[in-house]
Structure 1
Amino acid sequence: MNPTDLKYTVEHEWVREPGTAPGSIRVGITDYAQDALGDIVYVSLPEVGATLTAGTPCGELESTKSVSDIYAPVAGEVVAANEALDATPELVNSDPYGAGWLFEVVPADAGALAELLDASSYEAQLDG
C-alpha cells in the first residue's frame, strides 16, 4: 500500500510536499519500483542548482539487475540531494519513503503538482 499523503508519477516516483527547503518538494521512488529494480548498488542524482524539465531523466539508479533512469516529476531547481545515498544506496530499498529519498526541487509551477497521481490512481495504473 502506497502512502496516501504523497503524489505519484507513472514512472514510479513519489512526491512529498513540502520538502525541507523553503518551497521545495521531496522526491523518491516507490516501493514497487525499488522491488522491481532489486538491490540498488549505486545512485546518481541531479546536482544542487540544476534546472530540471518535467518528464526528463535527471539521474540513475543502478541495481544488480539493471540501470534505470530517474525522471523529474516537475520542472524546477534542485535544492537538495540525498548525499547519504553515496555511501548507502541500499536505503532506497530498505526505506523508499523515508531515508531513501532522492532529491528536493522547488517547482517552477506550483500547479504542476495537481497533475500528478494520487495513491489510488497510481495503484490503479499498476494493476492495469
Structure 2
Amino acid sequence: MKVGDTHVLEAPEITRSTLALYAGASGDHNPVHIDIDACRAVGIDDVFAHGMLSMAYLAGLLTSWLPQERIRSYGVRFAAITPVHAEPTCSGTVTAIEDGIAYVDLRVTLTDGTDTLVGNAAVSLD
C-alpha cells in the first residue's frame, strides 16, 4: 500500500429481498427497511437499506483488499439513506502512512454521487 492507492467494490443492487434477508440475519426488523406501508405512514415514500448493511459492504471492501487481522480500527458516519434499487459503490483511498499503519478514507457512494457512508480505517502494513 502507498498513499493514493484506491480500492473499489461494487455492491449488489439493494432489492427488497436483500432487505428482508438482512433483517432476518441481523435481527433488525425496523419497518422502515421492509414495510412500504409503515414508511408511507410516516411520510417516507419507500423502504431503504439498513445503515449497517452498507457498513458491512464497506467492511467487505477492506477484507477483499487485505487480511482482516491487519485492520486496527474501522468507523463510519451515516450520511444519507440508501434507497431500494440503489447500486452502491464502496471505495477506500490510502491518505497517509505512518509508523507501519496505513490510514484509509472510506465511502459508500450511490450512482448519483450521494455519499451514504463516510469513514476511515487504520490498517497495519505488516
| Fold match (TM-score > 0.5) | no
TM-score (ref. length: structure 2): 0.31
Which has more helix, going by share of residues?
Answer: 2
